[in-house]
Each structure stands twice: as structure tokens, then as C-alpha cells.
Amino acid sequence: MSIRKHAVVHGRVQGVGFRYAAQDEAVRLGLTGYVRNRSDGAVEAEIEGDAASVTRLLDWLHDGPPGAHVKKVTVTDVDPHGSTEFRITW
């Protein structure tokens, strides 16, 4: 059974390869959804898949890639969409 979470990552998370690293990690975990930069300097993601893998990516978001400095991650539940890939959107 799939679940889907919406996450907003605050801190120094733009300009450090955050979206690309998050996509790599999501694909490695077999997840679908998206990640994108927000105009307020945060990174936003929706992550869909099995609960254990979604939790692992949410944990990863709290650290991010080298160069990132995550201050806060807010997570909310959303309904699964049945996505077929994990992509970077604008």
C-alpha cells in the first residue's frame, strides 16, 4: 500500500544540488513524486511509495546533500496520486 507525504525543507537548501540528490535518493528507494525549489528559498517535495521507503527519504531530507544546512522540515499527509516516476519540477 502506498502513502504520500508533502514535505517543505527550510534552510540553505537551494544552490547546493538538493533537488538532484533528493531525486537520486528517491529513485534508489523506488519512490515516486516530485521535488522543486520554492520562491521563498525552501525546497518542496511530494514523496509516494511504501511507508518504510517514504520514511527513509523523509529522514534523508533532514540532512540533505553535502553543502546543505537544513533548519526545519514540515511534513503533511496527502492522498496518493499513483505517480509513476520521481521528477524535478519547476
| Domains, the chain, with CATH or none | 3-88 (3.30.70.100)
Share of the chain above pLDDT 70, in %: 100
Quickly tell me which residue has 504520500 as its cell: 4
Indicate if 37 belongs to the active site: yes
Write out pLDDT tens, residues 31-64. 999 999 999 999 999 999 999 999 999 999 999 9
| pLDDT score recorded for residue 1 | 86
Please list, in sequence order, all residues whose beta carbon lies within 8 angstroms of the beta carbon of residue 42, skipping any fewer than 6 positions away.
8, 9, 10, 13
Q: What is the CA radius of gyration of the chain?
A: 12
Q: Is the pTM of this model over 0.75?
A: yes
Q: Which of 19, 38, 56, 87 is catalytic?
A: 19
- Report which of 89, 85, 90 is spatially closest to residue 31, judged by C-alpha positions: 85
| pLDDT score recorded for residue 39 | 97
Q: Which of 37, 38, 56, 87 is catalytic?
A: 37
